[in-house]
Structures are given as C-alpha cells and as structure tokens.
Amino acid sequence: MITFTIHVRGFPSWFTMPCVACEILGRTTQAATSVEASSGLGLAACEPHLEVTEKVMTKLTTYDDAVLRSAFISAGLTGEPKDGLTRLFQTATKAAASGGPTEGDMLRAALAVFGIPSFFVNDRGVTYVLVAVDRTADEGDAHTGPRVFLHSGEDAMRPADQHTQPWTASLYAADGSYIDEPFSARPGLPLAEECANAALNLACWLLMHADCYPR
C-alpha cells in the first residue's frame, strides 16, 4: 500500500470548516487545521483529532463516505462519545423514550438520568413537574423552597403523542412568587429528545444558579 506524505496547515481565522472525525462521531466541531496529503486529498481536523486525521491521510485515496468512516475507525477513532454530557444526553433520551406513558413520565425519566429528583403536581387541574432548586429536598420540602415548574401548556400528564408545546421552566421563590422563566426546551425535536434537552438545560441551570436561590 502506498503511504502518502502529509503536511498540516492552519486555517486562517476567517475560514470555517467542520472537523471530519467529529462529523463521523455525530458532532459538529470547528476544525483548526487542514491535513493535506501527496495523494492530493485534504481533510479538516480539530485539535484533538489531528493525530487520527494524519494517520488516515497517509493512506486515503478517496472521499467515499464508507471508506472514510472505516479508515477513521481503523485508525483508532472511537465511536464512544468522550464528552460526559453527550453520553448523559443520549442515556436520557433513551430513558425518556421508554419512560412513558405520559409526557411527564418521559420528562421525569430524563431528569432522573441527570440526578434531578422530580415530582408530579396536580394543582386544581393544572399538572406540571416540580423540581426543587435544592436537590436534596423530599416531596414535602420541594413545595416550600425555591422551585422550578416544568410545564407544557396546562397539562404534563397527557399521553406522549398529545404533547404539543416544548417544555418550559418557570422559577418560583420559596413564598410562591414568580421569578423568571430560565429556559424552554428546543422546539421541533422528537419528544424523547426534547425531554433530554429540557433535563440537560435544567442540569446546567442548576449548576450555574442554584447557589443564588438558597432555601
């Protein structure tokens, strides 16, 4: 087999190209360099994927998608997402998908993956999922401290196929007064992914802001 010589070139700052290895792993990451070979081919690579891309470029003779994938995998590119949040997100999506039957059950399954306790609340016909900002609170305490309501319209207990509005978070103070709407889940996703998206949003929000709302 021919081994091509390669050279690595940094992109000018205005030049934007996604990293090919990241694309194979299902992510979109900005590439920092271009790896070019004497074969005449070149591929963009992010910093962590520079080495594996160099390895691939010494042998690559075509941009054919299947060849490209197998070349990267055999060069040691692992299919496992290394980023912990990505892995959690995927686990949460799976948990939500099998967590039904209601939309709220699915959301709660996704929240559980992120270690966020949640409770169903039915308040005079309006149902929502309750999360205490203080994650150690039990169900009784969750109602009396700073808390987040996750809601979709006025009902969080519909069958999954009747879910129409993205999950939205509303933040309330300990005395029950409304403070803010920290986020809405990304619209247009399949429900299981939307639940994982809402859970990820809340996990990040709690990480950043829980300290600002002590019990």
Pick 19 or 130: Cβ nearer Zn ion: 19
Q: Identify the three-state secondary structure at position 155.
A: coil
**185-194 LR contacts (CB < 8 Å, sep 24+):** 191/96, 191/103, 191/106, 191/160, 191/163, 192/93, 192/94, 192/96, 192/97, 192/106, 192/110, 193/93, 193/96, 194/163, 194/166, 194/167
Applying the rule CB under 5 A, the residues between 32 and 51 that interact with Zn ion are 46, 49
Binding piece for Zn ion, criterion CB under 5 A, among 25-33, 106-114, 128-136, 162-170: 25-33
Least distance from Zn ion to the Cβ atom of residue 56, Å? 12
**Number of neighbouring beta carbons within 10 Å of residue 184:** 16
Give the residue ranges of DSSP H helices in 102-163: 103-113, 139-142
Window of 24-32, 108-116, 155-163, 184-192 that interacts with Zn ion by CB under 5 A: 24-32
Query: What one-letter code names the amino acid at 139?
Result: E
Count residues contacting Zn ion (CB under 5 A)? Answer: 6
Residues 50-69 that bind Zn ion (CB under 5 A): none
Largest CA distance in the chain: 74
Nearer to Zn ion, 79 or 101 (CB): 79
19 binds Zn ion (CB under 5 A): yes
- State which residue, 82 or 124, has the beta carbon closest to Zn ion: 82
User: Helices 65-74 and 50-57: crossing angle, nearest 10°?
Assistant: 120
User: Smallest distance from the beta carbon of 197 to Zn ion, in angstroms?
Assistant: 23
Q: Judge whether 183 and 194 are in contact, CB under 8 Å.
A: no
- Tell me how far the alpha carbon of residue 27 is from its chain's centroid: 11
At closest approach, how far in Å is the CB of 52 from Zn ion? 9
Of 6, 22, 56, 137, the residue at the interface with Zn ion (CB under 5 A) is: 22
Q: Which is nearer to Zn ion, 22 or 92 (CB)?
A: 22
The least CB distance from residue 29 to Zn ion, in Å, is: 5
Task: Give the residues lining the site for Zn ion (CB under 5 A).
Answer: 19, 21-22, 29, 46, 49
